[in-house]
Amino acid sequence: MRTHEPDAVAGRGTSIEYADMLLLRFGEFTLKGKNRARFEKTVLRHVKEMIKPYPRAVLGKEFGRIYVQLNGEPAAELAGALKNVFGIASISPVKVSQSTLEDIISVSRRLLEILSPAEGSTFKVNVRRVWKEFPHGSIEMNKLVSTPLLQGYPGLTVDMRSPQLELKIEIRHDHTYIFCENIAGVGGFPLGTNGKAMLLLSGGIDSPVAGWSSMRRGLEVECVHFYSYPYTSELARQKVVDLARVLSRYAGVIKLHLVPFTEVQTSFTGLGQDNLMITLMRRAMLKIAARLAEREGALALVTGESLGQVASQTLPSMNVIGRATQLPLLRPLVMMDKSDIVELSKKIGSYELSILPYEDCCTLFVPKSPTTNPNLRIVDKIEATLPGYEDLLAAAVDRTETVQITPYGGEKPADLVPAEAGIKEEWF
């Protein structure tokens, strides 16, 4: 099979635009025996969610595979969306023919014309006869199909061991599937099959990548964002909604919890402990996120921390900050280089949003010299003696707004400044 390289279009065709159907194969989890049915069902549900904008596409399921009949829906667009479904290892665009020798040959020839292999390419036909009543056996069919194809394409040579082009033909009772290309899927575990966690989503580059990485390992993720209006702008909050929407492309739907953080954050000012500000703030975030996790039934917190990146991400900082919660803290990016994280964020589609220059609450009140080595005893003492601290945290949880975000939806939280009031839909 030929691996699909999106850049290698020049000169050579791709069959994707001409496909009648997409064949989706499951990934590594097929090895895990007893969870299999549950996993496959999850992938199917996820696929169903992703094809919602394409009403004519029809799903079918078989052992180890999902079929998406296109019925005129755009194949490339759908394949682009479906290859992001966690648990999908690969996708093949399929041409469908009738199960007669003549039609199989003619559709195969058409497919070959579309692919227009370069002179000297090696080639092989691989027939699988699922419908045993078909008059010709697999070995015989290999010959019956490849002979006329080779006559039409004298530039091709047969290579049975490692051909550059392997034309696969599956003969079934109702139809025959013919395919050649293989588009790599994202792989991983089906969404949510490994439980649920809360993702601390800032406006930066790292946290969306941490979210995607967690989702890819089968975690269902709910996003938690802290905002400090009026110190942070409406735009900063909108940016997080947009980032959550990017993540929802991989989840179908994602929950976003927006926590008003102004009171908690300002309570740390004027303590005369400016260098601990970030430590206190991060701990407060974990405490609030943990309470939301309890409410939502999540069993871990996910952060975008990467060791040594900033003052709050040194090991001593992580130690003191992490003790603010009993829940496991998952840090998918902890040992990754920034440049690799950036690469991933570009691939996921969050990078362009992440670099928009709106201040989030983490960049506010940043002291001149934040500590890289906070003292747990002092931090504990400050929190214990801060007047009304418990109530502030509880109030932030209570006033949290939760929005369900979908890939193509227009969901958004209530405006902080109700600017829609003066806008009439009749104007458009």
* Choice between 135 and 230, CB closer to another protein: 230
Q: Which of 113, 340, 391, 420 binds another protein (CB under 8 A)?
A: 420
414 part of the interface to another protein, by CB under 8 A? no
Please count the residues of the chain. 428
408 part of the interface to another protein, by CB under 8 A? no
Of 208-247, binders to another protein (CB under 8 A) are 233-234
**Smallest distance from the beta carbon of 2 to another protein, in angstroms?**
18
17 part of the interface to another protein, by CB under 8 A? no
**DSSP string over 236-291:** HHHHHHHHHHHHHHHHSSEEEEEEE-HHHHHHTTTSS-GGGHHHHHHHHHHHHHHH
9 part of the interface to another protein, by CB under 8 A? yes
Q: What angle separates helix 206-216 from helix 338-348, to the nearest 10 degrees?
A: 70
Q: Coil, strand or helix: which one is 22? A: strand
Q: Are 83 and 89 in contact (CB under 8 A)?
A: no
Q: Which of 197, 201, 199 is nearest to 361 (CA)?
A: 201
What is the spatial distance between Cα 384 and Cα 364, in angstroms, rounded to a whole number?
24
Residue with tokens 């004027």: 270
**Smallest distance from the beta carbon of 409 to another protein, in angstroms?**
13
* Choice between 78 and 277, CB closer to another protein: 78
Residues 6+ apart with CB under 8 A from 247: 208, 211, 212, 215, 221, 223, 254, 350, 405
Of 271-310, binders to another protein (CB under 8 A) are none
* Choice between 335 and 423, CB closer to another protein: 423
417 part of the interface to another protein, by CB under 8 A? yes
**Smallest distance from the beta carbon of 359 to another protein, in angstroms?**
13
Judged by CB under 8 A, the number of residues near another protein is 14
419 part of the interface to another protein, by CB under 8 A? yes
427 part of the interface to another protein, by CB under 8 A? yes
* Choice between 161 and 424, CB closer to another protein: 424
User: Residue numbers of the site for another protein (CB under 8 A)?
Assistant: 9-10, 74, 233-234, 417, 419-424, 427-428
